[in-house]
Amino acid sequence: MAAQVLDVGFHVLAVDDSLVDRKLIERLLKTSAYQVTVVDSGIKALEFLGLLDEEKEISGSNHQQVVEVNLIITDYSMPGMTGYDLLRKVKESSYLKDIPVVIMSSENIPSRINRCLEEGADDFFLKPVKQSDVNKLIPLVPNSFTGKPIKNHEQQQIFSSSTCKRKQHTDEYLSPTLRRKRYNQIFS
Amino acid sequence: MDVIIQLQRQLSDYTNSLYREGFLDDQFKQLQQLQDESNPDFVVEVVYLFFEDSERLISELAKTLSQQPMDFKKMDAHVHQLKGSSSSIGAQRVQKVCIAFRNYCEEQNIDGCLKCLQLLRNEYTLVKNRLETMFKMEKQVLGAGGSIPLN
Looking at the predicted structure, is the pLDDT value of residue A147 above 50?
Answer: no
More confident call, A60 vs A146: A146
User: Distance, in angstroms, between A129 CA and closest chain B CA?
Assistant: 7
Query: pLDDT category, B90, cuts 50, 70, 90?
Result: very high
Chain A residues within 8 A of B49 when measuring between CB atoms = 19-20, 23
Chain A residues within 8 A of B90 when measuring between CB atoms = 128
CB B128 within 8 A of CB B58: no
B39 contacts A77? CB cut-off 8 A: no
Which residue from A143, A139, A111, A107 is spatially nearest to A125, judged by alpha carbons? A107
Alpha helices in chain B (DSSP H): 2-20, 26-33, 42-65, 72-89, 92-107, 110-143
Domain span at A96: 11-53+65-140
Q: Is residue A179 in a domain?
A: no
> Which pLDDT belongs to residue A6?
55
> Which pLDDT belongs to residue A177?
37
The strand order across the sheet containing A11-15 reads A35-39, A11-15, A71-75, A101-105, A123-126
Looking at the predicted structure, is the pLDDT value of residue A172 above 50?
Answer: no
Looking at the predicted structure, is the pLDDT value of residue A150 above 50?
Answer: no
Q: Is residue A155 in a domain?
A: no
Q: State the average pLDDT over residues B105-117.
A: 97
Looking at the predicted structure, is the pLDDT value of residue B140 above 70?
Answer: yes
Q: Is residue A103 in a domain?
A: yes
Q: Is residue A111 in a domain?
A: yes
pLDDT, tens only, A14-41 = 999 999 999 999 999 999 989 999 999 9
* CB within 8 Å of A25: residues ≥ 6 apart: A14, A16, A38, A73, A104, A129
> Which pLDDT belongs to residue A139?
78
Q: Is residue A174 in a domain?
A: no
Query: pLDDT category, A173, cuts 50, 70, 90?
Result: very low
ipTM for the complex?
Answer: 0.94
pLDDT, tens only, A34-92 = 999 999 999 999 999 998 765 444 444 344 455 789 999 999 999 999 999 999 999 99
B87 contacts A27? CB cut-off 8 A: no
Q: Is residue A187 in a domain?
A: no
**Which of these ranges, A56-60, A102-106, B54-58, has the smallest mean pLDDT?**
A56-60
Q: CATH number for the domain including A81?
A: 3.40.50.2300
Query: pLDDT category, B54, cuts 50, 70, 90?
Result: very high
Name the residue of chain A whose CA is nearest to B46's CA: A20
- φ/ψ of A21, rounded to 5, equals -70, -30
Rounded-to-integer distance, Cα A136 and Cα A113, Å: 17
Q: Is residue A30 in a domain?
A: yes
Number of domains in chain A: 1
Q: State the average pLDDT over residues B142-151.
A: 85
Q: Is residue A146 in a domain?
A: no
B83 contacts A77? CB cut-off 8 A: no
Looking at the predicted structure, is the pLDDT value of residue B87 above 90?
Answer: yes
Q: What percent of chain B has pLDDT over 90?
A: 95
Query: pLDDT category, A162, cuts 50, 70, 90?
Result: very low
